Chains A and B, each alone.
Chain A
């Protein structure tokens, strides 16, 4: 026989925890991401890239993924006159909901780190773990950036892992094609030719 008291006990316990601590997880803001990625930066210059249809095609060809966005917002980090890098804000779909994330890129095009700003689903949140995100460090537009090849998958979070991986590939290609040329006066080194 089902022990109704036990069942009610579990429900009560759940309700208690629910009432006492119904606080949503705190996610990173853009400012926090900027500080985390470039702690020595003195200023961040905001800018937006908007793709023309030709640029979109070029980006699709270079990134090897469909490009559904029409541009990206980004911030150039500087310390005095030194260019430290760029933070690019991007969005991808998880299984059902949008994932907000940011990619920090060094002037030479190498990825410094990715940060998840907001994850809205109850499945797949493991991508916020540092170990999974740290795999992206040092990747550039020439890296494969493919799930289960140079980026390992997390079971139960496959869709989020895949979409973020593809998103990063697109963001790095965006940087290489459209953002980097804007920074040309800074005499950028080339990730592909760097030792």
Chain B
């Protein structure tokens, strides 16, 4: 309607002008001005008001300048007082996450991780550091449609479980990642891969991935991938290998957040792995987990269950070596339940306390890496099947920085477990950052 009025108005303005001297510069100038005005009005009707050219300037001089490569960061340091052995400091993770929005549908993401303080050349007194330099993520997201986007060939996290995909230290409360995410879901678990992701509904999204599969036998490394003590931890494939020994692995995750306070997912991983003397077996992992924040209280509950099924455990290397103590059965599984309470009264949320949170927590974990053994001896010394009780507190100075302290007790502990960092009791202090 308004457009019609404008066109009519333009015609009425133009007709009298035609009757005048069309070469009159004043008339021509006036007509040009009127046409320009009309164009602007039509444009406004069509597209709405333009954003103030200075609107972006309103956000501060540097706000929009991050158009090149930008960096995210997370990191964590720890000091451990173990039940056996020496106290130790560990600059566990220092992770730079460069990202670049190439255009509005191509986004580069990556993570470069320096672990345990770094690496250096050995000197006459040995290396000062005992760390690693890792490319944890490295891919381009090709955004096609909100329902279907492609994650390019590169390195990405296997989309299994919560903590493998979201593992920044401000997203969990213990100084170490939950025990389930060591032997059962071997975080940080990243593999050469290609994938896709998108949303199914506003509350349900998915990720799928095809990657290099789990590795039991490797001609480039001694020892077995699947073992009783380390579970699936050493089955993570070699990132730079020649993949003539690995099958493809297929994995995926469904993530649901449609119920207020509840965030839950289920995920799977399936591959065929080569074991002893070229024999093979299918291995599959299934995980289901949930986080529930009870509304109007500080209570937060988390639970996670992960289950490996090994079709032919007798084909695995660990079940065909000289040791009967490291044998793996047809199942590896684990679960944990955690309760945390966010204790920081609204009255304290002022000044430096405005972003603070104080979160005591307790977690019970059960890890089973020997179940359904085809042969061999089941270890009962807290290094394979084991239960942990972890108590601690996280003090968030703001949402990006957390100070942590916890005590972990191996309920099946023994002298053997005390000597292993992954299984020992300890008191640990930590600091985590994510921004």
| Cβ A158 vs Cβ B59 within 8 A | no
Q: Using Cβ atoms and an 8 Å threshold, which residues of chain B touch A70?
A: 57-60
| Cβ A29 vs Cβ B166 within 8 A | no
Q: Using Cβ atoms and an 8 Å threshold, which residues of chain B touch A39?
A: none
Comparing A18-26, A78-86, A106-114, A180-188, the segment that makes contact with chain B is A18-26
Bound-state Cα–Cα, A6 to B349, Å:
56
Q: List 13 A-B contacts (CB under 8 A).
A: A2-B248, A14-B196, A18-B150, A25-B143, A35-B48, A44-B49, A48-B52, A65-B354, A91-B56, A96-B66, A131-B258, A153-B293, A155-B162
Bound-state Cα–Cα, A6 to B346, Å:
56
Looking at the assembled complex, report how far the CB atom of A145 sits from the nearest CB atom of chain B, in whole angstroms.
11
A154 within 8 A of B: yes
| Cβ B153 vs Cβ A11 within 8 A | yes
Q: Using Cβ atoms and an 8 Å threshold, which residues of chain B touch A132?
A: 202, 257
Comparing B80-88, B122-130, B238-246, the segment that makes contact with chain A is B238-246
Q: Find the A residue at minimum CB distance from B55.
A: A73
A53 within 8 A of B: no
User: Within B389-423, which residues are at the interface with A (CB < 8 Å)?
Assistant: 399
Given A10-B194, A17-B144, the answer on whether A24 and B105 have CB atoms closer than 8 Å is yes
| Cβ B165 vs Cβ A156 within 8 A | yes
| Cβ A97 vs Cβ B70 within 8 A | yes
Bound-state Cα–Cα, A23 to B148, Å:
11
| Cβ B257 vs Cβ A155 within 8 A | yes
| Cβ B150 vs Cβ A69 within 8 A | no
Q: Using Cβ atoms and an 8 Å threshold, which residues of chain B touch A158?
A: 171
Q: Using Cβ atoms and an 8 Å threshold, which residues of chain B touch A22?
A: 105, 142, 144
Contact of B107 among A10, A31, A122 (CB under 8 A): A122
User: Within B38-65, which residues are at the interface with A (CB < 8 Å)?
Assistant: 47-52, 54-60, 63-64
User: Within B87-106, which residues are at the interface with A (CB < 8 Å)?
Assistant: 99, 101, 103-105
Given A23-B105, A158-B171, the answer on whether A2 and B246 have CB atoms closer than 8 Å is yes
B33 within 8 A of A: no
Q: Using Cβ atoms and an 8 Å threshold, which residues of chain B touch A189?
A: none
Q: Using Cβ atoms and an 8 Å threshold, which residues of chain A touch B150?
A: 14, 17-18
A162 within 8 A of B: yes
How many A-B pairs with Cβ below 8 Å?
167
B261 within 8 A of A: yes
Bound-state Cα–Cα, A23 to B171, Å:
34
Bound-state Cα–Cα, A127 to B71, Å:
21
A190 within 8 A of B: no
A89 within 8 A of B: yes
B350 within 8 A of A: yes
Q: Using Cβ atoms and an 8 Å threshold, which residues of chain B touch A126?
A: 199, 202, 205, 257
Q: Which 10 pairs across A and B sit closest by C-beta, in order of nearness?
A: A31-B48, A129-B202, A122-B141, A24-B105, A71-B58, A2-B243, A24-B104, A73-B55, A96-B70, A155-B263
Contact of A91 among B59, B144, B153, B248 (CB under 8 A): B59
Looking at the assembled complex, report how far the CB atom of B136 sits from the nearest CB atom of chain A, in whole angstroms.
14
B29 within 8 A of A: no
Q: Apart from A97-B99, A97-B101, what are 8 other A-B pairs with CB-CB below 8 Å?
A: A1-B247, A48-B55, A89-B55, A126-B202, A129-B202, A132-B257, A155-B255, A155-B263
Q: Using Cβ atoms and an 8 Å threshold, which residues of chain B touch A123?
A: 109
Contact of A24 among B143, B152, B295 (CB under 8 A): B143
Q: Using Cβ atoms and an 8 Å threshold, which residues of chain B touch A97?
A: 66, 70, 99, 101
Contact of B48 among A34, A91, A96 (CB under 8 A): A34
Contact of B146 among A25, A48, A121 (CB under 8 A): A25
Per-position 1/0 for B101-118, Cβ under 8 A of A: 101110101000000000
Bound-state Cα–Cα, A146 to B72, Å:
23
Looking at the assembled complex, report how far the CB atom of A83 sits from the nearest CB atom of chain B, in whole angstroms.
18
Given A25-B143, A96-B70, the answer on whether A156 and B101 have CB atoms closer than 8 Å is no
Looking at the assembled complex, report how far the CB atom of B164 sits from the nearest CB atom of chain A, in whole angstroms.
12
| Cβ B107 vs Cβ A121 within 8 A | yes
Interface centre among B55, B146, B291 (most CB of A within 10 A): B55
| Cβ A29 vs Cβ B48 within 8 A | yes
Q: Find the A residue at minimum CB distance from B350.
A: A64
User: Within B1-52, which residues are at the interface with A (CB < 8 Å)?
Assistant: 47-52
Looking at the assembled complex, report how far the CB atom of A134 sits from the nearest CB atom of chain B, in whole angstroms.
10
B380 within 8 A of A: no
User: Within B137-167, which residues are at the interface with A (CB < 8 Å)?
Assistant: 141-146, 148-150, 152-153, 162, 165-166
User: Within A1-58, which residues are at the interface with B (CB < 8 Å)?
Assistant: 1-3, 6-7, 10-11, 14, 17-18, 21-25, 29-32, 34-35, 44, 46, 48, 50
Q: Find the B residue at minimum CB distance from A144.
A: B346
Given A34-B48, A64-B350, A97-B101, the answer on whether A125 and B146 have CB atoms closer than 8 Å is yes
| Cβ A29 vs Cβ B47 within 8 A | yes
Looking at the assembled complex, report how far the CB atom of B134 sits from the nearest CB atom of chain A, in whole angstroms.
20
Contact of A1 among B54, B71, B153, B245 (CB under 8 A): B245
| Cβ A21 vs Cβ B144 within 8 A | yes
Bound-state Cα–Cα, A29 to B205, Å:
25
Q: Using Cβ atoms and an 8 Å threshold, which residues of chain A touch B148?
A: 17
Looking at the assembled complex, report how far the CB atom of A112 sits from the nearest CB atom of chain B, in whole angstroms.
18
Bound-state Cα–Cα, A152 to B64, Å:
28
Contact of A69 among B59, B165, B349 (CB under 8 A): B59
Bound-state Cα–Cα, A154 to B261, Å:
9
Bound-state Cα–Cα, A125 to B205, Å:
10
User: Within A52-106, which residues are at the interface with B (CB < 8 Å)?
Assistant: 64-65, 68-73, 75, 89, 91, 93, 95-98
| Cβ A122 vs Cβ B149 within 8 A | yes
Q: Using Cβ atoms and an 8 Å threshold, which residues of chain B touch A2?
A: 212, 243-244, 246-248
B260 within 8 A of A: yes
Q: Using Cβ atoms and an 8 Å threshold, which residues of chain B touch A93?
A: 63
Bound-state Cα–Cα, A70 to B55, Å:
10
